[in-house]
A and B are shown apart, each in its own frame.
Chain A
Amino acid sequence: MKSIKAILIMSIWTIFALIILYLFDAHINYRQIQWSIGIALALLIVHMVNMVIYFNITGKEPYKWFKNS
């Protein structure tokens, strides 16, 4: 259940970030090297934040072999 909640929030955060990039015309300007670096950094941060969202929401639950352990 926690995993589903985490993946939902990760999806919302990712879509939000992609919309921001789109509104800044990132999909048009990507061939300018300063844009390439900026877009890449933004995507990497999105990925890292996604990981942290998953860690924080799910905790150790997904890795447990037994429900009560």
Chain B
Amino acid sequence: MKTFYVNARYLIVPLMTIATIFGIFLGNNFVWLGVILFGFNTIIDTLTKDIHLRADFDEDGNSFGIKKFQYAVMYLMLPTFIVLQIILAWRLFHYTSAYPIEVLSLFGITYQSGISGINLIGATLSAGLWAGLGIIYGHELSHNRKEGFFISRLIMSLSGASHFTYAHVYNHHLDLGHEDDPATAPRGRNVYHHAWLSHVGQSKYSFDLERDKLKKQRKSFFSLSNKWIIGYLYSLPSIIIFVWAGGVIGILSLLVVWVISNFLLEALNFMGHYGLIREHGKPVEHRHSWDNDNVFTSWFFIEIGRQGDHHVRGETYFWELDDVDAPNYGIGYFSLFVLTLIPPLFRKFTKELLEDWDRNKATDSERKIAHQIGNL
């Protein structure tokens, strides 16, 4: 029973993504289901902010997590996100082809054919939000050295961010808490500025990596060995589908999906390390990441909020990550995300937490850097 409970609790995102797909399929106001679920999750996350659980192990210290099951779920998220894009493209096709709005039936399920402009916006927002939340699987699989890494590249490419997989493992994890890591936000930066800088910064890392590698190998930059180029080419099928289905409107719709999903990804990076500092060359420790580990955030985001442990043991399965007494916001990702959207509120919320970090967790060198940043 315990094994079932530990493994089933991480199915919230897969189930809600399928519900979002089904909502877009049903049409009418159901296309907004993805947006509504996002709001619902924010409420649940806020209500459960004080419930924190540890990782579950048996008496011998073995985890209850079933590796094969969890990996099967993560791999199946790739076709799930592809279906999410296809169902949105199908709705775009209806809209741009001026399909009449009428009730039809498929395999006994009644759905609305055709779509209004306002509901098309709802379908696009729903798809964007869940494509963004699905990036947690791209993140988790990026730490896999086998086929999972490739699946991660494909999942990220659905949001035009295939470069993330390399940049996350070889840049973010190694340069964490330092200006060499574009995904670490220094104090004072807001989430909107960070989303742009972190996105292009990670792409630049992958670009530079490939340029230098190919130069050493005496190969042309324009080569099929160039993983930066190949990564973007993985996104081509998505663009073709949206262009074909919706023309200009299709392109705008895909743009919205990509902007939302990348914004959510970078918001996670923002929240995970905002204001924390590591002296260059010093080891990454638990204190260099913020934990968000209330019960709903932990289960929903497959423990991605246990950043302190994750950054010290990067290849540890998510279901084995635990509370390591890292700095903790004390609230979940959904609640914190709302605060990040209003930068003055977020800065006010983090002020005392950062002062506490400076006093009790930082080294003298880190305190010195914090002081320099504070004086800017």
List chain A positions with a Cβ less than 8 A from chain B. Answer: 27, 30-31, 33, 36-37, 39-41, 43-44, 47-48, 51-52, 54-55, 62-66, 69
Cβ–Cβ contact A43 & B207, under 8 A: no
Contacts of A36 in B (CB 8 A): 240, 243-244
Convert B256-277 into 0s and 1s, putting 1 for each residue whose CB lies closer than 8 angstroms to a CB of A. 0000000000000000000000
Q: In the complex where A55-B204, A65-B373 touch, is A44 in contact with B179 (Cβ < 8 A)?
A: no
Query: Does B186 count as interface, using CB distance less than 8 angstroms?
Result: yes
Q: In the complex where A39-B243, A66-B372 touch, is A44 in contact with B232 (Cβ < 8 A)?
A: yes
Query: Does B235 count as interface, using CB distance less than 8 angstroms?
Result: yes
Contacts of B179 in A (CB 8 A): 63-66, 69
Contacts of B233 in A (CB 8 A): 44
Chain A: CB-nearest residue to B233: A44
- With both chains docked as a complex, state the minimum distance between the C-beta of A19 and any C-beta of chain B, in angstroms: 13
Subset of 11 A-B contacts with CB under 8 Å: A27-B248, A30-B250, A40-B236, A43-B239, A47-B160, A47-B232, A55-B208, A62-B197, A63-B182, A63-B197, A65-B373
Residue among A44, A52, A62, A69 making CB contact with B239, cutoff 8 Å:
A44
Cβ–Cβ contact B376 & A31, under 8 A: no
Contacts of A48 in B (CB 8 A): 229, 232
A24 to B167, CA, bound (A): 37
Cβ–Cβ contact A33 & B244, under 8 A: yes
Residue among A27, A33, A65 making CB contact with B247, cutoff 8 Å:
A27
Q: List B200-254 residues whose CB lies under 8 Å from chain A.
A: 200-201, 203-204, 207-208, 229, 232-233, 235-236, 239-240, 243-244, 247-248, 250-251
| Interface of A (DSSP majority class) | helix
Residue among B201, B203, B208, B372 making CB contact with A63, cutoff 8 Å:
B201
A43 to B252, CA, bound (A): 12
Cβ–Cβ contact B201 & A30, under 8 A: no
- With both chains docked as a complex, state the minimum distance between the C-beta of B374 and any C-beta of chain A, in angstroms: 12
Contacts of B373 in A (CB 8 A): 65-66
A41 to B235, CA, bound (A): 10
- With both chains docked as a complex, state the minimum distance between the C-beta of A35 and any C-beta of chain B, in angstroms: 8
- With both chains docked as a complex, state the minimum distance between the C-beta of B171 and any C-beta of chain A, in angstroms: 11
Q: Which of A40, A51, A55 has the most CB of B within 10 A?
A: A40
A27 to B372, CA, bound (A): 52
Cβ–Cβ contact B207 & A55, under 8 A: yes
8 closest cross-chain pairs (CB), A and B: A36-B244, A40-B239, A40-B240, A65-B179, A30-B247, A65-B186, A36-B243, A55-B204
